Amino acid sequence: MQHHDQEVLIDVSTAAMDTGGYGVLLTVTAEGGTEVDAAFSYLGDCASLHEARDRAEIFAQNWVEENIFR
């Protein structure tokens, strides 16, 4: 999933963790291609990858609201 707004690209990657559960990594890139920020969150146990993706999207939206749209 990717969001593009205000000349930044936010890449959201969801992956199963070796220790169980899922995690999400946000990578924020400026229009010129320079990585300007990154954030990781452990999503916990999820019944499916679909649930993990839903949680990851919510995390990403909250992160954007808190860090970009102040």
Q: What is the pLDDT of residue 7?
A: 74
At residue 62, the 3 state secondary structure works out as helix
- Residue 57 has a pLDDT of 92
- Whole-angstrom distance between the N-terminal and C-terminal Cα of the chain? 22
Q: Give me the number of domains the chain comprises.
A: 1
Q: What is the pLDDT of residue 69?
A: 65
Range of the domain at 7: 2-67
Distance of alpha carbon 44 from alpha carbon 28, whole angstroms: 23
Three-state DSSP class for residue 44:
strand
pLDDT along the chain (70 residues), means of 10: 62 89 91 85 93 93 81
